[in-house]
Every structure is written in C-alpha cells, then in structure tokens.
Amino acid sequence: MLDAITRNAKRLQRLAEDVLDAARIGNKSLKLNKDRFNLDEMLSNAVKDYRNQNEKVIDSKVKITYVHADISIEADKGRITQVISNLLSNAAKYTTEGSIIVSTERKSSQIVINIKDTGTGIDSEILPKLFTKFATKSETIGTRLGLFISKSIIEAHGGNIWAENNTNGRELLFTLAYH
C-alpha cells in the first residue's frame, strides 16, 4: 500500500509540475539557470535515475544503454535532465521489447543527443504535431505535455528537437549549442 501511495504521490507531483511548466511556457516566463556541467555525467545519472525509478515499467525485456562521450556544455542542467526524463519516458511507453539507447555526438558547434528505441514507430498522422500539447493516438496515462515541454526547453536553449522513424523503431533527437 505504501509503495502505491508513494508512486501515486510522485505521479501527482509530476502532473502538477507539467501543468505549471506548460503555463510558464504559455506566459513566456520559463526561466533557465545556465551553468557549465559535464553532459556525460548528467546523462549517465539521468539514465540510472530513470531506470531505478521505473523498474516496473522497464522490465528485463527492455535494456537502456547510455553511450558515453566526454562533453561539457553550458545549459540549465535541471531542465536538460527533465528533457531526458521525458524522452526516456516516451521511449519506454512504446518499447515493450528490445532496447533504448541514449547517445551523444558533437557536430561542429552543436551537440546532438539521440534517444533511439526499438519500439513502435510514430504514426504518420501524429509525427508532424508530435511536440504540440496533447498530441497522441495512444491511450496511455499521462499529461501528454512532456514532449511539448521538452521542445520549449530545448528551443529556449537555442536548440532544435525532432523525431524520426527508422527501420528498427524510432528516434527522438535534440541539439544544444557547444562552446
């Protein structure tokens, strides 16, 4: 019973935070606290935290892997962690078997972060509006604000976010400036 109460309290807290973030985005009052940090360390911790908090969602059929690349960036660490968590949550929702791989690549003045999964592809009807509020054809539980919030956070950092279907699933990618 205590586990169920704790899980539901955390879900309610995430819901409230998502609604507040969506309101901040609508009011153009989303603030960033930029600092220099090691992206590799943050991504590795975000993947571990997600895996630990969602053991029941991520069972033995799904493997989450992080491909290391030693890169430091200047960004809002908390907000980028929030984006990674949102994208991992989205990938896990649609991956019942296989893998989710988080990787980074430096391309001139940008860093590309890629969350690739072997889940079901993104419906062609949803793909163009994937990063808008409430865009889904799924019956899954959630606020349906995670990708919208993620897009707003990445754009506030001067980056881009997009999704692609591929032969083995799908990819959610975003860029951040590299200095």
- With residues binned 3-state (H G I as helix, E B as strand, rest as coil), the percentages for the chain, rounded to 5, are 40, 25, 35
Look at residue 41 and give its three-state secondary structure.
helix
On whether the CB atoms of residues 145 and 20 are closer than 8 A, the answer is no
Mean pLDDT, range 55-83, rounded to an integer? 78
Please name each of the domains of the chain with its CATH number: 2-177 (3.30.565.10)
Structure tokens at 77: 């660490």
Confidence of residue 139 (pLDDT cuts 50, 70, 90): low
Please report how many Cα atoms fall inside a 13 Å half-sphere around the Cα of residue 140, on the Cβ side.
18
| Strand pairing category for 110-117 and 169-177 | antiparallel
Confidence of residue 84 (pLDDT cuts 50, 70, 90): very high
Distance (Å, rounded) from C-alpha 93 to C-alpha 158? 28
Distance (Å, rounded) from C-alpha 4 to C-alpha 26? 33
Q: Of 2-6, 38-42, 154-158, which gets the smallest average pLDDT? A: 2-6
